[in-house]
Amino acid sequence: MFMRFLEDTNWLPILSIVLGSAALSVLGDSVGSKYGKKRISVFKLRPKITSRLITALTGALIAIGTIAVMAVLSQDVRTALFGMKMLKQQMYDLQFQLTQSERDSEQMRVSLAEASASLDLTSFELDTMRNDQYLLEQEKNELEAALRVMREESAQLKRELKSLRSEAIALSANVLLGQTAFEPGTSRDEITAGLNSLKQQVRLNVLTRISDQSFTRLRDVPVEFDAETEEALITELLSSDTRQYVRALSGENYTVGENLRVMIRLETGSSILTYRDGEPVYRKFFMNDRAASKSTPEEILHVFLRELRNKAINDGILPDPATNNIGTLDGEAFFNAVEALSRITEPVIISAVSSGDIYTEGPVVIDIVFEE
C-alpha cells in the first residue's frame, strides 16, 4: 500500500515547491537580516518594521510562487483556483438538467406504462378480432358449402323439371312454324295461294316437331287457323302499299293426347329490307394473340355469332319468340370457319356477310369472311 502511494505520488511539483519555498525563505531571511543590520528604513519606517515587512513580503512571494508553480504544473489546481465559480455554475446546470431528465424520465415511464396497457388492450382486441374472423370464415365456408349444395339441388330440379316438361309438352307456345312475305299490289288470289302454301309448311313443321318430341311417328296432326283472323289479314295485305310479312306461331303449349288440336296464330307487319346481298351484317376486329388469349377458335366464333344476333335484333330483325334465334348457320360452314381461323396467326377482321337480301322477318343467312 505504502509503495503504491509512493509510486502514484507526483513528487516533481512537491519537491519544486519545497525547494523553492526553502530558497525564498533563506533569501528573505538574508535580505531581512542585511537590511536590519544596516538599519535601513523603507517608506520612512523603523528598521525593525522594515525587517518585518521584508520577511512578510518574502512569505507572500513564497505563497505566490507556490501558487504559480502549482498552477503551472497541475490543471486541477488551475481549475480549483480560477474556475471554481464556473464549475459550481456548471454543476448547478448539470444538476438542473439531471432533475429535468429525471422528471422527463418519470413522465416517459408513465407514458410507457400507459402505452403498454393500451398495447395489451389492443393485442386483446386483435386476438378477439382474429377469433371473430376465424368464426366468420368458418360460417362463410359453411354457407358456401350449403349454397353449393342448394345450387346443385336447384340445377338437378331444373333438369328434372325440364325433362318432365319436355316429356309432357310436345309443342311449346310461340314457336315460329313458318313465315312468308307479300309485295304491295299482290292480288287476293296470290295472297290466298301464299297463305295456303304457308299452311302446308306449318302443318309439316308441326307434325315433324311433335313426332320428334314424342318419339312417335304421327301420320297427321289437326292444325287449325282462325278464319276471321285470316280474312282480316287478307284485307290488310290488299290495302298495304309496302311489303308485309306473315308469321305463323303456335298458340299455346300442347301435349300428346287423343284430343290434340294445334291452334295457329298469324301475325303481320312491315317487311323492311335490312341488309342487302353481299353487305356486311357485323364486323369485329380480333387481335388473334394466342399467347395472351385462352379462347379457342370455336369459342371466338360462338361469341362472334352471339354479338351478331344482338346487333341484328337491334337493327330490327325479328327473332324466333321461343328461341330468340334469328337464323341458323350450317354446321359445315361453321367448322370450315373454325378451321380457317385456326390457321390465321395475324390480327384479323371477322365479317358476317349477308347471303341474299335480308328483311325484317329474316332469317339472317350469312357467310363468314376473314380479312387479315
Would you state the pLDDT for residue 24?
A: 63
Residue 164 in this model has a pLDDT that exceeds 60: no
List of residues 6+ apart from 225 with CB closer than 8 A: 199, 264, 266
- CA-to-CA dists, residue 170 to 129, 177, 215, 248, 252, angstroms: 59, 14, 10, 17, 11
Would you state the pLDDT for residue 182?
A: 92
Would you state the pLDDT for residue 292?
A: 57
Look up the pTM and report it.
Answer: 0.50
Higher pLDDT, 360 or 127: 360
Confidence of residue 131 (pLDDT cuts 50, 70, 90): confident
Looking at residues 40-62, what average pLDDT do you find? Answer: 67
Burial class (CB in 10 A: 0-12, 13-18, 19+), 196: exposed
Residue 249 three-state SS: strand
Looking at residue 323, its amino acid is T
Residue 271 in this model has a pLDDT that exceeds 80: yes
Would you state the pLDDT for residue 276?
A: 92
Confidence of residue 245 (pLDDT cuts 50, 70, 90): very high
Residue 117 in this model has a pLDDT that exceeds 60: yes
Q: 169-215: per-residue pLDDT in tens?
A: 777 788 888 899 999 988 999 989 999 998 898 888 888 887 776 66
Q: Which residues pair with 282 in a beta bridge?
A: 352
CA distance 360 to 97: 98
Which residue do the cell numbers 438538467 mark? Answer: 97
Q: Which residues pair with 254 in a beta bridge?
A: 171
Which strands make up the sheet holding 366-371, listed edge to edge? 280-286, 348-354, 366-371
Long-range contacts made by residues 182-188, C-beta under 8 angstroms, separation at least 24? 182/237, 182/240, 182/243, 182/244, 182/245, 182/246, 183/243, 184/240, 184/241, 184/242, 184/243, 184/244, 186/237, 186/238, 188/234, 188/238
Looking at residues 15-25, what average pLDDT do you find? Answer: 64
Residue 49 in this model has a pLDDT that exceeds 60: yes
Higher pLDDT, 180 or 287: 180
Q: In this predicted structure, which of 256-270, 285-299, 335-349 has the lowest mean pLDDT?
A: 285-299
Residue 279 in this model has a pLDDT that exceeds 70: yes
Asked whether 357 and 276 are in contact (CB, 8 A), the reply is yes
Q: Chain-wide mean pLDDT for the chain?
A: 79
Residue 28 in this model has a pLDDT that exceeds 70: no
Asked whether 182 and 267 are in contact (CB, 8 A), the reply is no
Residue 291 three-state SS: coil
Q: Strand 348-354 relative to strand 366-371: parallel, antiparallel, unpaired?
A: antiparallel
Asked whether 195 and 247 are in contact (CB, 8 A), the reply is no
Q: 289-341: per-residue pLDDT in tens?
A: 665 567 788 888 888 889 989 999 999 998 888 788 888 777 788 888 888 88
Asked whether 364 and 326 are in contact (CB, 8 A), the reply is yes
Longest Cα–Cα distance in the chain: 183
Q: What percent of the chain has pLDDT over 90?
A: 10
Asked whether 224 and 262 are in contact (CB, 8 A), the reply is yes
Q: Which residues pair with 255 in a beta bridge?
A: 169
Residue 257 in this model has a pLDDT that exceeds 80: no
Looking at residues 141-163, what average pLDDT do you find? Answer: 80
Residue 56 in this model has a pLDDT that exceeds 80: no
CA distance 139 to 144: 8
CA distance 252 to 273: 31
Return the C-alpha cell found at 145: 358449402
Residue 162 in this model has a pLDDT that exceeds 70: no
- CA-to-CA dists, residue 284 to 145, 253, 299, angstroms: 41, 39, 14
- CA-to-CA dists, residue 50 to 27, 30, 62, 79, 338, angstroms: 16, 13, 18, 36, 139
Would you state the pLDDT for residue 27?
A: 66
